[in-house]
Amino acid sequence: MSNVYEPVIGLEVHVQLKTQSKIFCGCSTEFGAEPNSNTCPVCLGLPGSLPVLNQKVLELGMKVGLALECTISNLIKFDRKNYFYPDLPKAYQISQFDMPVSFKGHLAIELKADDGSLNEKKIGITRAHLEEDAGKLLHEGVRDGSWVDYNRGGVPLLEIVSEPDLRSADEAFQYLTNLKSILQYLDVSDCNMEEGSLRCDANVSIRKKDDAKFGTKVEIKNMNSFRAVQKAITYEIKRQSEALNAGEKIAQETRLWNESKGQTFTMRSKEQAHDYRYFPEPDLVPFTVSKEQIQKIKNSLPELPKARMERFKKQFGLSGYDAYVLVSEKPLGDYFEVCASEKVNAKLASNWIQSELLGELNTRKVSLQDSKVKPKDLAGLVRLIENNTISGKIAKDVLPEMLETGKSAEEIVKDKGLVQVTDTKLLEEVAERVIKANPKTVEEVRSGKGQAIGFLVGQVMKETQGKANPKLINEILSKKLSS
């Protein structure tokens, strides 16, 4: 692809805030309820109904704002955003226009350099504001029309708008990953794109690398996962580049991502800029937040991913990259911390969690939280490797067994007699046998082909049912062969 153009990307993320009740009424926010069963006059927009703000919503909004290094407004108000659509019962959405709860923050993303190190880039956050969610329209399987379910109407949303600071689909993916991570750490949302508790729209434009002006912005919707966002942006950059190269103009429009076709398609044939006629919501009073309140919330913030990453590097001596991966999902970081607190080698534990455990869980389609192997159990396995009771190779077989049976590592090793053979005398004997049985290979090793020793190691392993420590075998063989 031509490097003449630079992509300019901004993301709008809508997050459903995890409260028990809706933003303006006492209806439950529970997902998956019977259609229209979590409704009342307020969220149905019945004539005469009035909104009252859920205090927790404002708190969570401020929490996120602070976590994103935003300024929290001292005076906050709500506004009406007027438009017509069946999923919007009042024909206006109560949102925030000019006095949002938070603004001017940033989110750091880490980009892997060629040498494996991580470079930090700050992505600006224009604002994060509160609003109510709309109901859901169902079209599939409905004859001659659509169905409306207002259960989702009134669920509290935080709309997080980034500055157009992203310059690639990878950066966008990174931004979403890090944002989700922060939201999970704050425990403000389930961040589940499949259930709709996290939604993302992208604004994509391209410009010539030395151009100061931005190109025409295209809005992309209907991406249902972070990967979809990445793919859609990649496709859109390509589409726009090809169009410009062919001398065409980019139309300012909204396009929908089609996952199965892997393309974006125009959504509106007639681009009509919405006139939302924003004005201050007369049914809600303004909200003032004092410096003290803001400080109190700031003090109550949990350790966030970035801070945790730095601490993991210092406290456990992990590499930047390892630390980054472990903190990216709170449950993963939690798991690691408990495990590492069992006084096992942190690096070893980190490796085993990241590559072996997650791999096994993935194959079984089990989440980390549901894993039968708890952090303490994994620490037990790591300890056995650390003190040479079993080899890493054997451990790789023990782990699946632990997952299937729920038994501890020690139990399994004992039951199956997997204790590593470290008896040097025995190993020397086996080594002698193997050397005698493979004169050709021995010759190869002696004549300088060092790798051939591997075959001999393998033979010793075979004779010891894999229970010997390969490193030790290697040492013994090397010694014998060099003499």
Q: Which is nearer to another protein, 37 or 192 (CB)?
A: 37
Exposed/middle/buried for residue 364 (C-beta within 10 Å: 0-12, 13-18, 19+): middle
The secondary element (H helix, E strand) that includes residue 243 is helix 226-245
Tell me the closest approach of the beta carbon of residue 287 to another protein, in angstroms: 5
Q: Which is nearer to another protein, 277 or 462 (CB)?
A: 277
Give the footprint of another protein on this chain (CB under 8 A). 19-21, 25-28, 34-37, 39-41, 44-58, 80, 82, 84-86, 89-92, 137-139, 142, 144-150, 268-270, 272, 275, 277-280, 282-288
The secondary element (H helix, E strand) that includes residue 435 is helix 424-437
Q: What is the DSSP string of 245-285?
A: HTTPPPP--EEEEETTTTEEEE--SS--------EE-TTS-
Tell me the closest approach of the beta carbon of residue 22 to another protein, in angstroms: 9
Tell me the closest approach of the beta carbon of residue 352 to another protein, in angstroms: 40
What contacts 68, CB < 8 A, 6 or more positions away? 102, 105, 106, 107, 125, 128, 160, 182
Residue 154 identity: G
Q: Which is nearer to another protein, 72 or 193 (CB)?
A: 72
Tell me the closest approach of the beta carbon of residue 359 to another protein, in angstroms: 40
Q: Which is nearer to another protein, 268 or 479 (CB)?
A: 268
Q: Which is nearer to another protein, 92 or 312 (CB)?
A: 92
Tell me the closest approach of the beta carbon of residue 265 to another protein, in angstroms: 12
Tell me the closest approach of the beta carbon of residue 59 to another protein, in angstroms: 9
Q: Which is nearer to another protein, 47 or 247 (CB)?
A: 47
Q: How far apart are CA 212 and CA 111, in angstroms?
A: 24
Q: Which is nearer to another protein, 77 or 467 (CB)?
A: 77
The secondary element (H helix, E strand) that includes residue 377 is helix 375-386
Q: Which is nearer to another protein, 290 or 482 (CB)?
A: 290
Residue in 313, 304, 298, 374 with CA at minimum distance from that of residue 339: 374
Tell me the two tokens of residue 409: 């590592």
Tell me the closest approach of the beta carbon of residue 49 to another protein, in angstroms: 7
Q: Which is nearer to another protein, 90 or 127 (CB)?
A: 90
Residue in 120, 119, 81 with CA at minimum distance from that of residue 98: 81
The secondary element (H helix, E strand) that includes residue 60 is helix 55-67
Tell me the closest approach of the beta carbon of residue 29 to another protein, in angstroms: 8
Q: How far apart are CA 283 and CA 278, in angstroms?
A: 14
Q: Which is nearer to another protein, 25 or 244 (CB)?
A: 25
Instruction: Report yes or no: 338 and 357 within 8 Å, Cβ to Cβ.
Output: no
Tell me the closest approach of the beta carbon of residue 340 to another protein, in angstroms: 36
The secondary element (H helix, E strand) that includes residue 72 is strand 71-72
- In sequence order, the β-bridge partners of residue 266 are 255
Tell me the closest approach of the beta carbon of residue 286 to another protein, in angstroms: 6
Residue in 366, 321, 327 with CA at minimum distance from that of residue 177: 327
Q: Which is nearer to another protein, 151 or 459 (CB)?
A: 151
Tell me the closest approach of the beta carbon of residue 88 to another protein, in angstroms: 9
Q: How far apart are CA 415 and CA 248, in angstroms?
A: 71
Q: How far apart are CA 204 and CA 222, in angstroms?
A: 14
Instruction: Report yes or no: 455 and 481 within 8 Å, Cβ to Cβ.
Output: no
Q: How far apart are CA 401 and CA 411, in angstroms?
A: 11
Tell me the closest approach of the beta carbon of residue 140 to another protein, in angstroms: 13
The secondary element (H helix, E strand) that includes residue 206 is strand 198-208
Q: Which is nearer to another protein, 121 or 136 (CB)?
A: 136
